[in-house]
Amino acid sequence: MNYQLYKKARNKMLFKSLVFIFLILLIACFSTYKIYYKFESTRDKISSSPDLTVTYHGKQGENVKITKVTPVTDAVGLSSNAYKVTIKNNTGTKVKYKVVLKEDKEAYQKDLCSDNKIPDNIIKVGIHTSGEVSKIYNLDDLENNVLDIGTVAPQSEENYTIRVWISKSALVFDDNNMHYHGIISVEEVE
């Protein structure tokens, strides 16, 4: 009799333990899923057209900011904060595109800071794509702010790393409120 009660109690305890372990595993899986996808959406910003999918990696997305006027050499600038972009061709034919760095007029209006813009002639831009040497430009030397024009093969992708900094030859401004707001965009070229 004692053995039967003991066996019943043991089976009941085992069942409760299994249910409890199952619930813990279920909560752990659900939490991991939610956390992963929460951070994924803040990591990457995806812009799509019928032919191209453009992914801006990082929480800043396509927005470029310089908030501190600190002139640096090109070597230091090429190791500064990177804005990464992946361009993927969704079609069966080659697609021509251009990478553009435009002034973000909405950000200047929102921050009420259009009087504190860093001049384009002292802003340097470095653009790097896999397998090539980084190209360095002064922002005001770019024609229509086009950083690069390229072609992406069918069902393949191109990765870009863009860095923005203040030229070492720039005069240091007394006004530390100066800054730059820009937007990286990828546009199809016909």
Which tops the pLDDT comparison, 87 or 107? 87
Amino acid at 8: K
- Domain edges within the chain: 1-43, 49-188
* Furthest CA-CA distance within the chain: 94
Considering the entire predicted model, what is its pTM?
A: 0.70
Among residues 85, 78, 41, 80, which one has the least CA distance to residue 62?
85
- CA distances 93 to 12, 53, 183, Å, are 64, 14, 28
Q: Which region, left, alpha or beta, applies to residue 13 given φ > 0 means left and ψ of -120 to 50 means alpha?
A: alpha
CATH topology of domain 49-188: Immunoglobulin-like (2.60.40)
Model pLDDT for residues 98-144, shown as the tens digit of each residue: 999 888 888 878 877 777 788 888 888 999 988 788 888 888 888 88
The answer to whether 66 touches 104, Cβ cutoff 8 Å, is no
Task: Tell me what pLDDT residue 14 has.
Answer: 92
For 43, the enclosing helix (H) or strand (E) is helix 2-43
Model pLDDT for residues 177-186, shown as the tens digit of each residue: 778 888 888 8
